[in-house]
Structure 1
Amino acid sequence: MATLSVFITAFVLVSATNICLAKEFIVGDESGWTKGYDYKAWAKDKVFNVGDKLVFHYPVGAHNVFKVNATGFQNCITSPTDQALTTGNDIVFLATPGKKWYICGVGLHCESGGQKLAIAVQFPQVAPSPSPSC
């Protein structure tokens, strides 16, 4: 019973620490989510952790964002159109670790415009503080 209590306490502390340390990434920085941008280079030196957010900025109607699997990413295959993010200020919360793939489903933006992003999300490598506060 004491072990379970220690585990729960540790989990709560780590979770609170992850939320406090979460980062918000503007995809493409000042260029935003657009055709002709090198998203592979943009993501190369960034560390994405569980709890972080991706923000996709673009003119409404000009682009969209689809979360896809590896095959969809490689072949620019979107899911049903009702699953597209379309606000122009789309926020994606990175809730789980692993590879994540995003593409634009407008026209040939993914295929010929290179409008696609692949990232790896990990658990933060931070020791929890005894009293988390943001």
Structure 2
Amino acid sequence: MAASCSTIVFIMTVFALATSISATEYIVGDQNGWSLDFDYQTWTKDKVFYVGDKLVFNYAPGVHNVMKVDGTAFQQCITSSSNGTLTSGRDIITLQTPGRKWYICGFGKHCELRNMKLAITVQAMSPAPSPSTSSTLSVSTTYGFVVALFSGLPLFLV
């Protein structure tokens, strides 16, 4: 029984490792960063966000911030002290749950008048890449790693 539990824990650990390897880091706004008068809605159009991906907000500290808000606060650009306000100038948010996510700048009227607001939808899991994608090397390396680990261990299946 202990051997099968160890095998299950091992498989779950390998799965978590493979999932973390496939996570994508998005620089919000690309080279523009988190800035005034940028069209974040257009920026998100060709992107699919998954649990485990990271959003990186780059901006000048003391000039902007990042606030996670709900849908109503996003639409109305409402800020409150209960929001988790990030202020480092390089804030990294790991997307941990699927669903809609909303972020605004809480400085002045940056959200209301200068378009500093980002809304995304996070998907539950990243699909397995097709063999024709550029990620084939990392996926096959990950699976090669898993095969190498399994080949040296006896499997106890119940």
Shorter-chain TM-score tier: 0.7 to 0.9
CA distance in structure 1 between the aligned counterparts of 2:44 and 2:102, rounded to whole angstroms: 12
CA distance in structure 2 between the aligned counterparts of 1:56 and 1:111, rounded to whole angstroms: 19
**Is 2:54–2:93's contact at 8 Å kept on the other side of the alignment?**
yes
Query: Which residue matches 2:156?
Result: none
Query: Which residue matches 2:86?
Result: 85
Cα offset for 1:107? 0.4
Query: Which residue matches 2:42?
Result: 41
Query: Which residue matches 2:117?
Result: 116
Cα offset for 1:96? 1.0
Amino acid at match of 2:127: Q
**Is 1:22–1:52's contact at 8 Å kept on the other side of the alignment?**
yes
Larger fraction in helix? 2
Amino acid at match of 2:116: Q
**Is 2:68–2:83's contact at 8 Å kept on the other side of the alignment?**
no
Could you say which structure has the greater relative contact order, defined with CA pairs below 8 angstroms and 6 or more residues apart?
Answer: 1
CA distance in structure 2 between the aligned counterparts of 1:75 and 1:38, rounded to whole angstroms: 17
Query: Using a 3 Å threshold, how does the CA distance of structure 1 residues 11 and 124 change in structure 2: closer, same or farther?
Result: farther
Structure 1 gap segments, 5+ residues each: none
Amino acid at match of 2:69: V
**Is 2:67–2:83's contact at 8 Å kept on the other side of the alignment?**
no
Query: Which residue matches 1:27?
Result: 28
The counterpart of 1:125, out of the listed 108, 124, 127, is: 127
CA distances 1:66-113 after superposition (whole Å, capped 9, x unpaired)? 000111111111231773100100010111111110000000000010
**Paired residues for 1:95-114 under 5 Å:** 95-114=96-115
Query: Percent identity at matched positions?
Result: 48
- Tell me the matched-pair count: 131
Query: Using a 3 Å threshold, how does the CA distance of structure 1 residues 72 and 89 change in structure 2: closer, same or farther?
Result: same
Structure 2 gap segments, 5+ residues each: 130-138, 148-158
- Cα-Cα RMSD: 2.5
**Is 2:40–2:117's contact at 8 Å kept on the other side of the alignment?**
yes
Cα offset for 1:125? 1.3
CA distance in structure 2 between the aligned counterparts of 1:85 and 1:104, rounded to whole angstroms: 10
> What TM-score do you get using the length of structure 1 for normalisation?
0.85
Amino acid at match of 1:18: T
